[in-house]
């Protein structure tokens, strides 16, 4: 059973930083994409960032240059470093992964989702 557990959310002032972590249990990260989505109040869920097994990454235009997805030194852990945060980044952030290996990075469909972690950016 694959499970994803996010952590690191919280309240931060605009211009500040947060680092989200996602620990995957029940499977390794080898060969699988990892990604982050977010959902703000009253809005649809949207793609934030993703990386593949080659460590290639993809970002939404709204976070490009401010957010960075990477593998952590801790086993089965992926992080999302968020800098220069803006109030519009306020949302619940979800970690995602695939059930199958080697899927194309641009594909926005994922099979496993975490429970989410809340990020609030105050102005």
Structure tokens at 113: 């989702």
- Supply the pLDDT for residue 31: 93
Structure tokens at 10: 């919280």
Looking at residue 15, the DSSP 8-state letter turns out to be T
pLDDT tens per residue across all 123 residues of the chain = 999 999 999 999 999 999 999 999 999 999 999 999 999 999 999 999 999 999 999 999 999 999 999 998 788 999 999 999 999 999 999 999 999 999 999 988 999 999 999 999 999
Please state the length of the chain. 123
d(C-alpha 119, C-alpha 112), whole Å? 21
Looking at residue 78, the DSSP 8-state letter turns out to be E
């Amino acid at each position: 059973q694959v499970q994803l557990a996010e952590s690191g959310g919280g309240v931060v002032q605009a211009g500040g930083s947060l680092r989200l972590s996602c620990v995957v249990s029940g499977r390794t990260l080898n060969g699988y994409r990892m990604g982050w989505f977010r959902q703000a109040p009253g809005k649809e869920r949207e793609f934030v960032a993703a990386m593949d097994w080659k460590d290639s990454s993809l970002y939404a235009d709204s976070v490009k240059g401010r957010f960075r997805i990477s593998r952590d030194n801790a086993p089965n852990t992926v992080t999302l470093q968020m800098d220069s945060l803006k109030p519009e980044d306020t949302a619940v952030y979800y970690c995602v992964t695939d059930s199958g290996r080697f899927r194309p990075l641009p594909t926005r469909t994922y099979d496993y989702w975490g429970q989410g972690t809340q990020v609030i950016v105050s102005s």
